[in-house]
Amino acid sequence: MTGHDYVTEADRALEETYEEPMSLAAYVDRIFENPSIASHASKYLLEAIEAAGTRTVVEEGEEKERYRFFDDPYNDGEHAILGNTEVLNRFVDDLRSIAAGRAKDEKIIWFEGPTATGKSELKRCLVNGLREYSKTPDGRRYTVEWNISTAEGGERGLSYGDDASATDEQDWYESPVQAHPLSVFPTEVRDDLLEQLNADLDDHVPIQVDAQLDPFSREAYDFLEERYRRAGEEELFSAITDESHLRVKNYVVDTGQGVGILHSEDDGPPKERLVGSWMHGMLQELDSRGRKNPQAFSYDGVLSQGNGVLTIVEDAAQHADLLQKLLNVPDEQSVKLDKGIGMDVDSQLLIISNPDLEAQLNQHADRNGMDPLKALKRRLDKHRFGYLTNLSLETELIRRELTNEMAVWEAESYDELADRIRAPVTVTVKDRDGETRGQEFAPHAIEAAALYAVVTRLDEEHLPNGLDLVDKALIYDQGYLQEGDSRREKDEFDFDGDGNDGDHGIPVTYTRDTLAELLQTDRDRHHAELSVEDIVMPRDVLNAMVEGLIDAPVFSTGERSEFENRVVPVKNYIYDQQESDVIEAIMHDKRVDEETVAEYVEHVYAWETEEPLYNDRGERVEPDPLTMKLFEIEHLGRFSESGYDGNQPRESVRNFRREKVITSLNRHAWEHRDEDFAVEDVDLTAIPVIKTVLESHDWDDVERTFEDFDPRQWSDPPSGTETATVKESTIDTMVDLFGYSPASAELTSRHVMGQVSYRWD
């Protein structure tokens, strides 16, 4: 594309965003066509969230519907809030109640949680989402602008902010606080209009507009009303709101215009932070009304900027003195600018804090009924963000912290997620000489960091018998636990309410900083002759995370001790994953083909059910005991000759066939009972024991397949030996199919073989 093409494309984008100003009557006609553009603040925020749709996720082992709005879809996921779906869903439910005026409309929404749990992302996600929603047809946001220079006999201009020569478009001044266009109408007329609008509204949340004009707009209105009344104008309202004086214009919601954000570093008197500041040098009396000139007021307070949509107080503990000033804003929807001037406010209030705010609020809790903060605490609607307790989400978050991978992970199955969890990550770093190089976190390295962080966040007091914290983490992420041939769903375990999961633990910021330091550390201790100093292995990650606990100021002595004790099962699990990769790479070309497995399944099914079995020529044959026996001994590795009487199975083999194979087939037949069931149509990987045969092996399989293989020779196998041949093909497979680099494949396989050598016969 040429430069001109890009400019044209930008013009087109802005054309779709902005509209020409319209008359008040045209606006009213527009809202009857599309009522959502007239929504009040809480309803508008709710509609913006719902407009993005939902998706299904698994968190804490349960399927949940998640609002895509919180994935920051308009910004390619850059500020997505990972996890905490249940908390966000409760927030939307409360928002729905507030918008409908049911019970919670006097509440101030409060998001609380420890550091690095996504609270700052929530703020950015809300701003991004509202900005982009306001550019859509259903999300258009409107306010009013005034021009009194055209009033008959008018000699005084009305403005705010910088003075400018008022000519043509420069004579138009927009409401500085995004006044709702319907606030121009007299109350009784507006009530009738809203009643008719809501009667036709196919929604359980009616539109509410109770606000009066803001002081600046009220001064313009009053000025015009007085001039036309003196002139004897009969259609007074029509004259005041004529297109020459009043226009309805749309605006894009953003920080400062519809979204007010009070940052932690903002200071000044409470009134100034909330609604703005008086410019003392410009105070004037208007005629004989004794009111201060609204143009002398700076509308830069957080409520003024957030009027119409959303007001956010971030790091609220820094602004605790303001919270009591906000007490009556949600239900009265009004604030005082000065003793003589008030302003109606329609804004959804939301505060964000770390746990230190709660400590401030509870400082008088021991006084029971005499607690001076009791009224404030009653108004706060608390939603707590916790640390992530899902392995896949924590892995995704760590990768986001280390790279620019901002797209939110969505997967059709957990197997797809598992591939992302274990995948390597390459990060470009600059060395001491100023040269850049790529450093690789080997497969399972980021997984190790994420799993360890999650394990430190889980409550171990109520673990079901036989499970450790790694098992619990896997159940939370997958929704089930695979134990050999059997699969147990989460609802089969009793986690006793999940205790204090996510309340404390290692934050992602600590993990990120530890991994960043590893990128700058020389790792020449790993077989320097291999040129693998740029490989960060899972054990490097876990060792560094544990070693760093002692110097990290964010952890207490008790936490350090607790976290150190939790690393062992994580190391064991990660080693098992590495070992599985190596074994599968060794056996990759020795997998049992699906035809052989299918033949076995068909023979077992015919053996048990006496269903007819046909050969390739269409001739009926009996199930072959030898075919089943050889498969069970050679491929399953479950039985020896002692399990058979000749070729006939003994009781243990018969039970195995019925419980592991036939039961799965019967389950499949039941699930497809409305269809014509045939054993050849069964997905063999749906049978756990068969899935194991097709997809996994063990060292017995390796030893049986490669009789002269010796893991003790792995580091430097003699030329021409079976070990050398196996190693070459294994490294190639790990690189080609499992995502390893040659160096990380070498290091991983050496590590595994070093452990196997001790127990090799």
- Position 705 confidence tier, pLDDT thresholds 50, 70, 90: confident
The tokens of 577 are what? 């994953």
Give dist(CA 630, CA 660) in Å, integer: 17
DSSP-derived secondary structure for 80-139: ---S-HHHHHHHHHHHHHHHTTSS-TT-EEEEE--TTSSHHHHHHHHHHHHHHHTTSGGG
H helix runs in 479-587, sequence order: 508-519, 538-547, 557-565, 567-586
Q: Is 425 helix (H, G, I), strand (E, B) or coil?
A: strand
Give dist(CA 93, CA 573) in Å, integer: 39
Least confident stretch, 434-448, 487-501, 675-689: 675-689
Give dist(CA 605, CA 623) in Å, integer: 9
Mean pLDDT of 698-716: 88
Residue 152 has pLDDT above 60, yes or no: no
Give dist(CA 705, CA 699) in Å, integer: 10
Residue 12 has pLDDT above 80, yes or no: no
Inter-residue contact 603 to 473 (CB < 8 Å)? no
Residue 338: beta bridge partners? 341
| Averaged confidence pLDDT in the chain | 84
The pLDDT assigned to 685 comes to 57
Highest mean pLDDT among 111-125, 166-180, 636-650, 674-688: 111-125
Residue 53 has pLDDT above 90, yes or no: yes
pLDDT, one tens digit per residue, over 298-312 is 788 899 999 999 999
The pLDDT assigned to 522 comes to 53
Torsion angle of the four alpha carbons 57, 63, 67, 69, in this order, in degrees rounded to the nearest 10: -20
The pLDDT assigned to 334 comes to 87
The pLDDT assigned to 420 comes to 93
The pLDDT assigned to 498 comes to 60
The tokens of 327 are what? 């007490």
The pLDDT assigned to 565 comes to 93
* Top-confidence residue, 197 or 676: 197
Mean pLDDT of 440-452: 96
Inter-residue contact 91 to 38 (CB < 8 Å)? no
Highest mean pLDDT among 347-351, 358-362, 449-453: 449-453
- Position 17 confidence tier, pLDDT thresholds 50, 70, 90: low
The pLDDT assigned to 526 comes to 44
Mean pLDDT of 221-238: 88
E strand or H helix at 499, and its extent?
none
pLDDT, one tens digit per residue, over 659-691 is 877 877 776 665 555 555 555 555 665 666 666
Percent above pLDDT 90 for the chain? 46
pLDDT, one tens digit per residue, over 352-411 is 998 888 777 777 667 766 766 777 778 888 999 999 999 999 999 999 999 888 889 998
* Top-confidence residue, 468 or 684: 468
The tokens of 615 are what? 């050969």
Mean pLDDT of 83-98: 93
* Top-confidence residue, 493 or 65: 65
- Phi, psi (rounded to 5 degrees) for 242: -60, 150
* Top-confidence residue, 410 or 277: 410
Residue 282 has pLDDT above 60, yes or no: no
**∠ at Cα 186 (183, 188), nearest 5°?**
115
The pLDDT assigned to 348 comes to 93
Give dist(CA 445, CA 424) in Å, integer: 7
Q: Identify the structural domains of the chain with CATH numbers, from first to last.
A: 36-152+167-383 (3.40.50.300), 391-587 (no CATH)
Spatial CB neighbours of 601, under 8 Å, sequence gap ≥ 6: 661, 665, 679, 682, 684, 687, 690
Inter-residue contact 125 to 81 (CB < 8 Å)? yes
* Top-confidence residue, 27 or 598: 27
Exposed, middle or buried: residue 10 (CB in 10 Å: 0-12, 13-18, 19+)? exposed
Mean pLDDT of 630-656: 86
Mean pLDDT of 231-245: 89
